[in-house]
Amino acid sequence: MYAFIHYSLNTYTNQEWGFGNEDPKLFNPSNLAPDITQDMPNSGEKFSSNYYIFFGADKMMFVTLNDEANVTGFRYLPPQDSREGLVTHYRISATTDWQKWETLGEGDFSNIVNNPIWQTVRCKPTRAKIIRMEGLRLAQGERMSYSDIEVVTEK
């Protein structure tokens, strides 16, 4: 079974196409299609009921946690079969309310193009519900991509 759920700001404005002038405060993915997702079986891929991953723009990824947590790190596994969309320079931020963002880390993933392994960004424990990863620079292409993402939290 496969499922593709397209979920964006247009979900809240009831428009097929956005114009870029919508108020970001309208975006509130706190309960992503529960009437649909509750019946989806685990497809055998990495399955996490702890968070949702989605793109807000070509070079901006969001991870929303089901519950607030003390975030201590973020892990990025780049695409394994292509340099297209591979993030070389990043900024990772967190918030609890979509309003006030705190930067968890900013920098570059040294030698990631030649060695596309897990990249870990550690940070001081920060209370968060939403994590934002910005691809400040990509190896190739205009849209960031990933093979896997993990949010590291205090136990």
Whole-prediction pTM: 0.70
* DSSP-assigned letter for residue 140: B
More confident: 78 or 55: 78
CA distance 32 to 87: 27
Domains of the chain: 1-47 (no CATH), 49-153 (2.60.120.260)
Mean pLDDT taken over the chain = 81
Instruction: Render pLDDT for 93-134 as a digit per residue (tens, 0 to 9).
Output: 999 999 999 999 999 999 999 999 999 999 999 999 999 999
* Residues 64/52, Cβ–Cβ less than 8 Å: yes
